[in-house]
Amino acid sequence: MKPWEIYPPSSRFNEVKGSLRRLVILAAATALVACGTDEPTESSDVADAEAESEASLKGGIEWFAGSVDEALAAAADTGKPVYLYWGAVWCPPCHAISATIFKSPEFIERSKLFVPVYLDGDTVNAQAYAEKFGVRGYPTMIVFDPAGVELTRIPGGIDLQAYASILDLTLNDASPASELVDSLMSDEVELSPSECRLLAYYSWGQDTRILVGKDAGAAFERMHRACPEKMRIERSILYMSLLDKMLQAAADVENPVALTERSKSEALQQFQTVLANIELVKANIFTVLLSGARYIAALTDQDSEERQRLSSDYRRVLVQIAADESVYKRERIYALAGKIRLERMEDPERELSADLQQEIRNTVTWADTSTPSVYERQPIINALANVLNEAGMDDLAKPLLLAELEKSRQPYYFMVVLADIEQRSGNSDAAMEWLRQAHDVAKGPATRFQWGYYYVNGLLEMAPTATSLIHDTTVALIDELQNSSGFYQRPKAQLTRLQSRLTEWGTENEQQSELARIRDSVLVVCANSTGSDGSREACESFLEQI
């Protein structure tokens, strides 16, 4: 699993399954709202909650007080590298990083060797910087050398020792990851141990540039083979990335590339090696938890003894991770996802065993009651919601999430999940009301646009004849963002998806005239906006192909 997909692989989180959530990356955000009330929160309370949330997320680090450009200038003056963190107050993996990495004395001490920059996605120019650096999603952590050259991107979901090791590498004249990849792709070179580690722990899913125009599978194969044999952990991480690419190629609908028997045999051996070593399991923890069943299905034959043995080994690992108190609670929860997928490996519609259903219920109770901190709850409750969604246990998810609205500093994140539950139950009015509420209480330009996109998408799915509401909401969304932070990176990508959804709606419902009306209104917004030229161009191109 890679960044920001169905679950939170190492930094990478979190597009949740479901009719609404299949289309959008879930995220949630910012005010205190009582469940079931239409009354807005007092603005001072909202501001206090936001400030409190951000302060908690920043941990004990002395973040640089200035812009990104000023931080890069300070780095050039002091000779320190820049550590840039890009996140959001609603983002579950951001909360997880804050609860683990940012609060550790070791990391706090190391941060003094850098110019540390905390960039919230809703702050001024945050999305423009994200576009400049080719950032894909929250959270992204980039290290630049004192000259402003990007060295690496660090994933979340790795342990503190690995995190510290990568930071140490960047303090010792490390070559940029991009240069290492270019060198590997142009020549059969060997990697040093430090170069191998840098590439193994690179956040590939949060980068939009290094592998562009390259065969990603071939790149990971070269990285794996160029790493010294003694680097067992790093080689295993790179091989799992290679295996993901091979299985993606095999599943390609238009041009499938089947695994050769040799590749399948090697992959089976590599996966068995990982499962046999708990250190390797933990280094590849999200891959093992969330892709293990897929690997077993792809690498073994149904009803074979080999599949039975591998499934047994995998089940043992899942039990071990779930019981290991040294493992972060979120990952222990996701061991359930592995068990669900293993039970349904050969029949996706299979009803889960009574034992597994009870284990899920017990885990929900344990995780809920053992996590009193409002800030640590965000990734934990989100993980529970994801597992319950996969298990099809909406009866348990709904009361859990309703209760969380009273506790979370970012309740609108969970309102979108509740909307999805109501939509699956056929309660369209309730689903749309949750989406409306979520957008109403969201704060921050990028966040409000994202939650507004969820709302419009819900209207298109569940109220396709509400043309005036669809028109007014869409135009208001674009107007608000164009006159604040503008269309860069995440909002620009969401604007493109919104255009696609509206175009589909217009075609399916014979609403071409409504599309034209929306475009005309948006053009007025663009003409009257105070946004930059780049943002205005994105605004003016909206629905121009209709």
- Measured CA to CA in angstroms, residue 111 lies from 66, 108, 508 at distances of 16, 5, 53
What is the reported pLDDT for 50?
Answer: 52
Residue 69 · residue 109 · CB < 8 Å? no
For 249-296, write each residue's pLDDT tens digit. Answer: 999 999 999 999 999 999 999 999 999 999 999 999 999 999 999 999
Band of the pLDDT at 53, cuts 50, 70, 90?
low
Q: Is the pLDDT of residue 22 over 80?
A: no
The residues with which 119 forms a beta bridge, in sequence order, are 86
Least confident window among 52-61, 99-108, 162-171, 347-356: 52-61
Looking at residue 54, what is its pLDDT? 63
Question: Cα(63)–Cα(6) distance, rounded to whole angstroms?
Answer: 31
The pLDDT-based confidence of 31 (bands split at 50, 70, 90) is very low
The reported pLDDT for the residue numbered 10 is 34
**What distance in Å separates the CA atoms of residue 407 and residue 401, rounded to the nearest whole number?**
10
18: left (phi over 0), alpha (psi -120 to 50) or beta: left
User: Six-digit token pair at 335?
Assistant: 């061991």
Q: What is the secondary structure of 370-390 as a DSSP string?
A: T---HHHHHHHHHHHHHHHHH
Which pLDDT belongs to residue 42? 38
Distance in angstroms (rounded) separating the CA atoms of residues 519 and 532 = 20
pLDDT digits (tens, 9 = 90+) for 502-544: 999 999 888 999 999 999 999 999 998 776 777 889 999 999 9
Whole-number percent of the chain with pLDDT over 90:
81
Q: What is the predicted pLDDT for the residue at 315?
A: 99
Neighbours of 69 (CB within 10 A): 11
Flag whether pLDDT at 97 surpasses 50: yes
Q: What mean pLDDT comes out for the span 211-233?
A: 97
* DSSP code, position 207: B
The two tokens of residue 307 are 């599949």
Mean pLDDT of 429-449: 97
Distance of alpha carbon 14 from the chain centroid: 4
Helix or strand or coil: residue 444? coil
**115-120 β-sheet, strand order:** 115-120, 82-87, 140-144, 150-154
pTM of the model: 0.90
What mean pLDDT value characterizes the chain?
90
Q: If we measure between CA atoms, which residue out of 449, 390, 450, 447 comes closest to residue 424?
A: 390
Mean pLDDT of 323-333: 97
Question: Hey, what are 462's tokens?
Answer: 């569940």
Which of 479, 426, 416, 476 has the alpha carbon at shortest distance from 451? 416
Which long-range contacts link 96-100 to residues 24+ away (Cβ below 8 Å)? Answer: 96/8, 96/156, 96/157, 96/328, 96/330, 96/379, 97/139, 97/156, 98/56, 98/57, 98/58, 98/59, 98/375, 99/373, 99/375, 99/376, 99/379, 100/160, 100/328
Q: Mean pLDDT across the stretch 313-335?
A: 98
